[in-house]
Amino acid sequence: MEILLLGTGSADGWPNPFCRCDSCRSAAGAIRGQTAALVDDVLLLDCGPEAPRAAMRFGRSLAGVRHILFTHGHPDHVGPAALLMRHWTGAGEPLDVVGPPSALDQCRHWVGPKDPVRFVTVQSGDRIRLGDYHLRVLAAAHGADIGGDAVLYDLESVDGRIFWATDTGPLPDETHAAVAGAGYHAVFLEETFGNYTEHGTEHHDLPAFAATLTGLRGSGAVTPSTDVVAVHLSHHNPPEPELTAVLSDSGARPGRDGEVVRVGTAGETSTRTLVLGGARSGKSAHAEALLAGQAVTYLATGGAREGDPEWAERVRLHRTRRPASWRTIETTDVADELRSAETPLLLDCLGTWLTARMDLRRAWDGGSLDDVHADIDELVLAWRGCPMRAVAVSNEVGSGVVPATSSGRLFRDLLGVLNARIAAESDEVVLMVAGRPLRLPAE
């Protein structure tokens, strides 16, 4: 099962476009729209006003969607204009629109009289079949102002099982009982209010989020292998590095717009991601966020530089940002670590790895480059064969000025070759620009 996160923000998103608080300013490089997801390109989990355009921005068409599931009638989750957009295309394929009355009542007047749209009203406790999916409807603690009919979804196919748990406050006892033993592959749990605990609403803040997860782990709904993703995030949360660290303590991580989560049989094969970017582009922070909430082995290739306090400060900041549960290995012999990996790996970065190999082979002094190319060959093979989730960070050096020295030009050219070869063996390549991730299309 593949889940594309079309949005991971609250109703006003994060940052709020009208706000200048510290949290909003810090989040300007990672804009989050209203929470929604596209499953296997055929099923939408919530479809607020921003969802259709988000799909287009992430390179996905909604033409294949056959099921839309609404959780409740709040306007950030229900954008009925999507049904009109579909009507204008003359689509003749059947479409299921599923949800509680508060959501469906807003949608019925947005379809044409001959549109093949089936409205399916659901409530907590219902079980239905939608194409290849088994759907169980669960109770939410949310939405008294709209009749109190908000629901959550337990979605299962032969490819995996997920829990879509937004919007809700701490889960009702009946929901905890219903999901006991589910062993979800992924849980998408709302976490709206961060450190602000006096909101008085039916949403999660960070302490409530941690308590809910404790309950889900205790019942077997969440297991050590469950990917727990926090969604419906707002500017009441702390800046992302701090949020990532706090969520990691609960075995969770913040979701990001445009992120693809693969679970079940789709997640059994390792996924390799290359994150490229220039200086201070946010590439390391983005790579770390991709693996947040997991037991990670961090391959640090930079090493120590005697007499360089600025470098030492960079290393210190990187170490501080990483969760305490991560294991760090400082090495440039990373091929063996890739081949024998037993946990997800983060390799940061290819540029410092290449520098170290060129030092070892005395390539700067005009020596033969054959040994360096052999090192690159070995690294690429190990990257291809890594049995676990792996993320590598590298510098994008091809867009700047031509280096003034021959050694600089040699490094630039070799790193360009290395980046291209690693990209060719990666499932996903992300280019970071001014803190924003741009996913590069496959060749």
Per-residue confidence (pLDDT) for residue 317, from 0 to 100: 62
Flag whether pLDDT at 159 surpasses 90: no
Q: How many CB atoms lie within 10 A of CB 380?
A: 16
Would you call 49 helix, strand, or coil by DSSP? coil
Whole-number Å distance between alpha carbons of 386 and 376 = 15
Whole-number Å distance between alpha carbons of 65 and 42 = 4
DSSP secondary structure code for residue 171 in this structure: P
Per-residue confidence (pLDDT) for residue 288, from 0 to 100: 85
pLDDT > 70: percent of the chain: 93
- List, for residues 297-341, the tens digit of each pLDDT value: 999 986 555 666 665 666 566 566 667 778 899 888 899 999 999
Higher pLDDT, 263 or 20: 20
Taking all residues of the chain, what is their mean pLDDT, rounded to a whole number? 90
- List, for residues 9-33, the tens digit of each pLDDT value: 999 999 999 999 999 998 877 899 9
Residue with tokens 């490819």: 159
Selected catalytic residue, list 134, 199, 318, 373: 318
**pTM attached to this predicted model:** 0.70
Predicted confidence band of residue 401 (pLDDT cuts 50, 70, 90): confident
Task: Mean pLDDT check: name the lowest of 34-38, 237-241, 332-336, 367-371.
Answer: 367-371
Whole-number Å distance between alpha carbons of 322 and 304 = 18
Per-residue confidence (pLDDT) for residue 406, from 0 to 100: 84
The CATH architecture assigned to 2-262 reads: 4-Layer Sandwich (3.60)
Q: How much is the average pLDDT of 49-75?
A: 96
Q: How much is the average pLDDT of 349-364?
A: 91
Q: How much is the average pLDDT of 375-394?
A: 93
Where in the chain do CATH 3.40.50.300 domains reside?
Answer: 272-440
Where in the chain do CATH 3.60.15.10 domains reside?
Answer: 2-262
Closest-CA residue to 153 (of 181, 128, 131, 180): 128
Whole-number Å distance between alpha carbons of 287 and 269 = 19
Decide if 318 is catalytic. yes
Per-residue confidence (pLDDT) for residue 286, from 0 to 100: 86
Q: Which tokens sit at 207?
A: 């302490």
Per-residue confidence (pLDDT) for residue 364, from 0 to 100: 86
Q: How much is the average pLDDT of 358-369?
A: 84
Predicted confidence band of residue 131 (pLDDT cuts 50, 70, 90): very high
Predicted confidence band of residue 350 (pLDDT cuts 50, 70, 90): very high
Per-residue confidence (pLDDT) for residue 323, from 0 to 100: 72
Of 3.40.50.300, 3.40.50.2300, 3.40.50.720, 2.40.30.200, the CATH number of 272-440 is 3.40.50.300
